[in-house]
Structure 1
Amino acid sequence: MEILIKITTFLLLGLILIFPILILKRLKKNILLNYSLLSLLILAILIVIFTWWNNQSDLILLNNFGYNINGMNHNEIYENVASVNMEKVKNIETSIMGISWPLKAVFGFATFIPYLILLYIGKIVLDRMKNKSIT
């Protein structure tokens, strides 16, 4: 179960990193405006899916390890958790406490905006290098 969740998480992260590059390669006219709008929209959707999936996968793993999310005290919460998995469960429990996944999505979106800008600048630089080498 853990491996399937990790694979899905890495695929979503790969999509977040690759989609702006694919959009940049496909666009021909009004490249700045179209790239900005398309990449921001798709990036927002992918980041929301990614952060939601991280939260849901943690809940799935907790349930898989026997964690009782509806327990009233520590004995009820951890009664079905094997002692081998206790440290993993406590780490996952700590990671889901704190800020919620929508707020993580907002922070993730703000973090990836410079990535989009760097990709666009890199595209401009590569185009200019190609034009200089042709002439």
Structure 2
Amino acid sequence: MSVEIYRWFLKIPILISVLFFFVFPYFLNKGIKLSTPNRFIRFMILVFSCLLVFAFVTWLMTYWMEELSKDLLLVKMGVNTDSFIHEEMFEQVPPKYLAQAKEIHESQMGIGWPLKAMFTYIFLVLPSSVVYCLMLVFVDKIHLNKS
């Protein structure tokens, strides 16, 4: 399998997780609506359960995107990950992938994936999931007022 096809396969879990972020609250809201008549309690259950599940999914996806998929791609390109010497590390890499392999290897330096996961959760997932849950509750409220 070529590196380009392998790179596309590595993006599939990311697409699935983005789809999960939109589908999970909708079905959770439908299930909570059947069992809890109070709207405020339903909203609180929806938000807190989404935040807990999304924290776990964000943690997994950040590890996948920042660490594991890059390591798998470097191994597929022929990088010797056990070596500490730069020249020895890239000597098995074909010339057409050498620049990409060095760029991916250098992108792994810096802050680690746990810190990136925390920033992603605090600044991206937390606000968007609260807004999405609010939208679901308001749409339900509009549907209740119409009927």
Give CA deviations for 1:80-99 in whole Å, capped at 9, x if unaligned: 11110112212211321111
Q: Residue 39 of structure 1 aligns with which residue?
A: 50
Residue 102 (str. 1) matches residue 107 (str. 2): no
Q: Residue 27 of structure 1 aligns with which residue?
A: 32
Give CA deviations for 1:24-70 in whole Å, capped at 9, x if unaligned: 23212221221122111111111111111111010010111111223
Matches within 5 A, 1:1-135: 1-28=6-33, 29=36, 30-54=41-65, 55-110=67-122, 111-134=124-147
Runs of 5+ consecutive residues of structure 2 not aligned to the other structure: 1-5
Aligned-residue CA RMSD in angstroms? Answer: 1.7
Write the distance in 1 (CA, Å) between the matches of 2:109 and 2:23: 30
Runs of 4 or more, structure 1, over 3 Å off, are: none
The question of whether the paired residues in 2 share the 8 Å contact of 1:15 and 1:46 is answered with no
Q: Residue 3 of structure 2 aligns with which residue?
A: none
Q: 1 or 2 for the larger relative contact order (CA 8 Å, sep ≥6)?
A: 2
Report the number of matched residues. 134
Amino acid at match of 1:116: S
The question of whether the paired residues in 2 share the 8 Å contact of 1:65 and 1:81 is answered with yes
Return 29-38 or 58-67, whichever deviates more. 29-38
The question of whether the paired residues in 2 share the 8 Å contact of 1:23 and 1:35 is answered with yes
Write the distance in 1 (CA, Å) between the matches of 2:142 and 2:21: 27
Amino acid at match of 1:107: F
